[in-house]
């Protein structure tokens, strides 16, 4: 929604869900997590760039989540042994992309995506499994983009 039409309530609702919800969940989980555990926040490529959609609240919430991820990693990795990372998905078939205008994916997203298509769930799942597993035991505080090259265009 264009920032000039978004109400304070709409903006707060997006922030509450995407940023505050992650904050409260991480805080609650950290009380019970053991060293070696991993928190993975789901940010968005829109927290790192824009692709022409007016989404101030969404982009702000996801950029905030990226900063939140870095800060928690700094606080909890050394002290509690909890790694904290984020995924930044690009465009995947989802309820969100189903809401776009019919030609938006073909005219705006695909031309900016180097691989020339939307992502597949298994591609995002592989990155998630990596961050959750011991294969990433030396990885913390990062945001892993899984976005088909949008950030390079």
Locate the DSSP E strands across the chain.
38-42, 83-89, 143-146
Give the per-residue pLDDT at 52: 72
List for the chain the helix, strand, coil content (%; round to 5): 55, 10, 35
Give the per-residue pLDDT at 75: 97
Residues of the chain with pLDDT under 70: 98
Give the per-residue pLDDT at 99: 73
Give the per-residue pLDDT at 65: 98
Q: Are strands 143-146 and 38-42 parallel, antiparallel or unpaired?
A: unpaired
Q: Phi and psi dihedrals of 49, rounded to 5?
A: -155, 180
138 burial level (CB within 10 Å; 0-12, 13-18, 19+): exposed
Give the per-residue pLDDT at 3: 85
Give the per-residue pLDDT at 109: 85
What DSSP designation does 17 have? I
Give the per-residue pLDDT at 46: 93
Helix or strand or coil: residue 139? Answer: coil
Tell which residue, 144, 136, 142, 145, has the closest CA to residue 74.
142
d(CA 111, CA 88): 19
Catalytic residue numbers, as ranges: 58
Spatial neighbors of 118 by CB under 8 A, at least 6 apart, are 91, 92, 93, 97, 105, 109, 110, 148
Give the per-residue pLDDT at 23: 97
| CATH class assigned to 8-152 | alpha beta
């Amino acid at each position: 929604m264009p920032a000039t039409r978004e109400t304070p309530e709409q903006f707060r609702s997006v922030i509450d869900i995407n940023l505050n919800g992650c904050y409260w969940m991480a805080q609650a989980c950290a009380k019970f997590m053991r060293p070696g555990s991993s928190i993975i926040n789901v940010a968005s490529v829109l927290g790192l760039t824009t692709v022409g959609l007016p989404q101030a609240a969404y982009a702000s919430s996801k950029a905030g989540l990226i900063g939140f991820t870095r800060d928690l990693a700094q606080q909890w990795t050394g002290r509690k042994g909890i790694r904290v990372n984020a995924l930044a998905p690009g465009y995947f078939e989802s309820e969100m992309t189903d809401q776009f205008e019919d030609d938006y994916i073909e005219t705006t997203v695909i031309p900016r995506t180097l691989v020339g298509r939307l992502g597949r769930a298994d591609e995002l799942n592989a990155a998630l499994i990596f961050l959750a597993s011991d294969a990433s035991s030396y990885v913390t505080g990062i945001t892993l983009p899984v976005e088909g090259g949008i950030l390079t265009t």
